[in-house]
Amino acid sequence: MKLSVIGCGAMGGSMVEGWLKTDIIKPADITAADPYEGSLSKFSGTGITTTTDNNLAAKDKDIVCVVVKPWLVEQVLGGIKNSLSEKQTLIVVAAGVSLEKVKSVVGNEISVVLCIPNTAIAVKASMTFIVPDNNITPEQLAVVESLFNSTGSCMKVAENQLSAATVLASCGIAYAMRYVRAASEGGVQLGFKADAAKDIVLQTVKGAVELLQASGNHPEAEIDKVTTPGGLTIRGLNAMEQNGFSNAVIRGLLA
């Protein structure tokens, strides 16, 4: 399998970093393309091919990933459409871009997958959503799913769910980090040094995630286990709710 990533900014670069940490594809079979050589310099010595020529990156690859800002998608796809073939799978990573828009540029014969990962793909911990078009064969879909499952977890969704999925996972990683920041600042106020407070919060969040994944329980079921009557935990939870914690999270997602 030969794969290219066109656009190696924050997201595209993270995708390459993640796949370099897996055994699913050899570095020699990865091509990274970007108009700015500075975006490619971090891959020096990794064994992948780097280029500033998008058409060179698109030719003769099994999978071509276009990972650019939404307003650049049409321009970049238009520039490589003559280098694409019906045998390839085109993965487009750009929020708010529809299958219809992509097809209007590259043609209906090209197999297309819309994809939204998050930057945790760099450490093989992304929540990635995919929307395949009707041209995708079961074999092509299996390859795409295996690529993104190798760097976290992959979920196929309907196209009309992709915006909500982006909020929960792609935007959501920033919201989770904002909680980590707030809790770390609280830890400093409680008397810990900043680095120690951050480490405590990170391990606590990691533990909460792994506990929920292992048990399959609703979060409230696990919360009930640690909220003793009149205890510290319930006091803290109630104070957070009085200050709009859950409502603030939901309003942020809806915004």
pLDDT at 146: 98
pLDDT in tens, 132-188: 999 999 999 999 999 999 999 999 999 999 999 999 999 999 999 999 999 999 999
Check residue 171 and report its DSSP letter.
I
Say if residues 124 and 150 touch (Cβ distance below 8 Å): yes
Q: CA angle at residue 174 from 173 to 179, to 5 degrees?
A: 100
Model confidence, pTM: 0.90
Check residue 88 and report its DSSP letter.
S
**Distance separating alpha carbons of residues 124 and 129, to the nearest angstrom:** 14
Among residues 179, 170, 175, 212, the alpha carbon closest in space to that of 198 is found at: 179
pLDDT in tens, 11-28: 999 999 999 999 999 999
